[in-house]
Amino acid sequence: MYKVVLADDEIIALEGLRTQTDWEELGFEICGACENGEEALAAIIHNSPDLVITDIRMPEIDGLELIGRVRSLQMEQPIFIVLSGYGEFEYARTAIRYGVRHYLLKPVVEAEWDKILTDITDELELRVKQRMQQSMLESRLLPLAIARMLEGHWAEPEEEAAEQMDRLDETVTGWTYLHVEGHSSTITELCRELAGPAGALFIDLPGDQAGLVVESSAGAAGLAEQLYAGLTRIGVKGSVSIGPSVRSLRELPVSYREAAGAAARHYFYSGGYGPLDSAIEGEGQVNYNLPATELIEEMISAVERLNEQKVLEKLNEMFSMFKENRTDPGVVQMTSMDIMLRSMELLKEFGGADDPWIGSLDFFRTEPKSLESLQATLQSALITCMNSIRQHKERNSEHPLIRVECFLRDHYSRHLTVKEVAEHFYINPVYLGQAFIKKHGISILEYIHNLRIEAAKKRLIETHDTVRSIVESVGYVHYHHFLREFEKRTALKPVAFREQAQSEQG
């Protein structure tokens, strides 16, 4: 609220000043209604009003002397409206010398009164903004405190910074964060250059990002356009995004996260051209679900079998799902890295080195990218990986673990131990056990049980053989041992499994 002091020695005139205007609706609070200049001077010193309306002729101290005394005080100077009767033009000239720009003759015309109050309200609002901007531009603690908030190191700011935040919050209806991404030194220079003229606060952040904090009503969209035009002018590929308006400086992390998230998603899916408004971009839902495990397993299996056509088919299927669902870029990157790491493990199993792949992993982690560029990079990496595996296969014949798997598939119905399998292939049993678990996630014995139970399920469905004969044919000596492994994998007894399968087949 702005403060106003009224001064007139005529009681009726003073009451008219008080009641003829809805001061509260205009945003004013009457902090003094004085009948002489002495009272008015005391009220001004005590309340530091934004506006003083005074009659010229008053006892003790007249209006002109009141203005002169106030002008000599070390305080924020109020705006004066001087009221006078006809024939007092000499007083008007003196008032002008004191810097008074609003001079009205009694009786005041209502239309003239309304216009002058509107002009003064606009002037006071401009003063507030100029003070705010000056405070922001001169402040050093405030941008540091805000930067720490945005980086996630939140704590109640130091007392001086907190006071600055509170004072600035009182002067505006809200704040908007403009998020800029691009080459670090370039965007820093550009933001600093535009911050001053725009009355914005420059926020320096680590990495290739920076920002400007601007009053929500101060043309955030226009400033964003200037930022993006600046990036374009100097040939820097980057993005500018507008966060939602927040009421308090302490709420800026909300505006920052929305702006940064909008920039990442928009850039990821459409190339990121032009300033972005997070409110508009955010209307599209973002999906955080991982792709189906079966899809990734089929892709890795195709890599292992060197089936390039199958790899590309599954890769296209996965990235089409990402695009259709607008999967969050972080989820896409995490999935791509997982596929890349598993492919590298495959290559290492065949004797290849993972050093050449470090650059690709760094790309997945740090490079700004579109969905298309990420798919192209992953596709290129997988093809290169398959070529490397093919070369190592040709050089070293077949990988021992593959030969072990083929042996187990052919002999699962025999009584086998890890030691016997290792001796058959002249491999250390401890190394074999560890390597097998690393590749398949299960032990050799569990792998054998899986093969046996799958064979038993197939015979239960396709034949009328007794359960007992099936148990013996797949390699189990004791029925209860088979039953335990079967129920663990199907949650059904063999007979119930057969009946269910037959009912499903019609």
Are 125 and 155 within one domain? no
Residue 273 domain-assigned (yes or no)? yes
Is the pLDDT confidence value at 353 over 60?
A: yes
**Domain with 411 in it: what CATH number?**
1.10.10.60
Q: How far apart are CA 49 and CA 75, in angstroms?
A: 10
**Domain with 88 in it: what CATH number?**
3.40.50.2300
Are 371 and 433 within one domain? no
Report in angstroms the alpha-carbon separations of 92 from 10, 59, 102, 121, 258.
20, 18, 10, 22, 55
Residue 447 domain-assigned (yes or no)? yes
Closest Cα to residue 384, out of 317, 303, 315, 309? Answer: 303
Residue 167 domain-assigned (yes or no)? yes
Please give the pLDDT value at position 454. 94
Helix axes 358-366, 329-349, angle to 10 degrees: 170
Are 185 and 271 within one domain? yes
Residue 171 structural domain:
139-281
Please give the pLDDT value at position 183. 81
What would the two tokens of residue 418 be? 């890890």
**Is beta strand 2-7 parallel, antiparallel or unpaired with respect to 28-34?**
parallel
Report the number of distinct structural domains present in the chain: 4
Lowest mean pLDDT among 26-30, 368-372, 388-392, 491-495: 368-372
Residues recorded for the chain: 506
Sign of torsion, CA 243 248 251 253?
positive
Is the pLDDT confidence value at 87 over 90?
A: no
Q: How far apart are CA 392 and CA 470, in angstroms?
A: 41
What would the two tokens of residue 337 be? 């890295």
Are 81 and 117 within one domain? yes
Q: How far apart are CA 280 and CA 429, in angstroms?
A: 61
What would the two tokens of residue 92 be? 């008007």
Top pLDDT among 365 and 241 is at 241
What is the pLDDT confidence band of residue 299, given thresholds at 50, 70 and 90? very high
What is the pLDDT confidence band of residue 74, given thresholds at 50, 70 and 90? confident
Are 307 and 235 within one domain? no
Closest Cα to residue 205, out of 182, 226, 222? Answer: 182
Are 248 and 364 within one domain? no
- Residues with Cβ < 8 Å from 471, sequence gap 6 or more? 456, 479, 482
Do residues 176 and 220 make contact, with C-beta atoms less than 8 angstroms apart?
Answer: yes
For 391, half-sphere exposure in the C-beta direction (CA atoms, 13 angstrom radius) is: 11
Q: What average pLDDT does this structure show over 347-368?
A: 62
Are 174 and 255 within one domain? yes
Do residues 144 and 204 make contact, with C-beta atoms less than 8 angstroms apart?
Answer: no
Residue 286 domain-assigned (yes or no)? no
Lowest mean pLDDT among 19-23, 285-289, 482-486: 285-289
What is the DSSP code string of 216-266? TTTTHHHHHHHHHHHHHHTT---EEEEPPPBSSGGGHHHHHHHHHHHHHHH
Q: How far apart are CA 377 and CA 363, in angstroms?
A: 9
Please give the pLDDT value at position 475. 93
Q: How far apart are CA 121 and CA 118, in angstroms?
A: 5
Closest Cα to residue 124, out of 72, 78, 70? Answer: 78
Lowest mean pLDDT among 349-363, 400-414, 475-489: 349-363
Residue 194 domain-assigned (yes or no)? yes
Residue 61 domain-assigned (yes or no)? yes
Residue 287 domain-assigned (yes or no)? no
Closest Cα to residue 244, out of 229, 228, 262, 231? Answer: 262
Is the pLDDT confidence value at 196 over 50?
A: yes
Rg (CA), the chain: 39
Do residues 53 and 83 make contact, with C-beta atoms less than 8 angstroms apart?
Answer: yes
Q: What percent of the chain has pLDDT over 70?
A: 85
Are 380 and 411 within one domain? no
Residue 288 domain-assigned (yes or no)? no
Top pLDDT among 262 and 270 is at 262
What is the pLDDT confidence band of residue 268, given thresholds at 50, 70 and 90? low
Are 121 and 55 within one domain? yes
Q: What is the pLDDT of residues 120-163, one digit of tens each?
A: 998 888 887 767 666 655 566 788 888 888 887 655 667 777 77
What is the DSSP code string of 4-47? EEEE-S-HHHHHHHHHSS-HHHHTEEEEEEESSHHHHHHHHHHH
Question: Which of 227, 256, 281 is the endpoint of a domain?
Answer: 281
**Domain with 211 in it: what CATH number?**
3.30.70.270
Are 250 and 220 within one domain? yes
Q: How far apart are CA 297 and CA 268, in angstroms?
A: 25
CA angle at residue 442 from 420 to 432, to 5 degrees?
A: 35
Are 386 and 435 within one domain? no
Question: Which of 337, 364, 396 is the endpoint of a domain?
Answer: 396
The residue whose two tokens read 């299960």 is 442
Question: Which of 281, 311, 342 is the endpoint of a domain?
Answer: 281
Q: What average pLDDT does this structure show over 359-388?
A: 76
Closest Cα to residue 192, out of 143, 239, 153? Answer: 143
Are 81 and 38 within one domain? yes
Helix axes 329-349, 293-304, angle to 10 degrees: 30
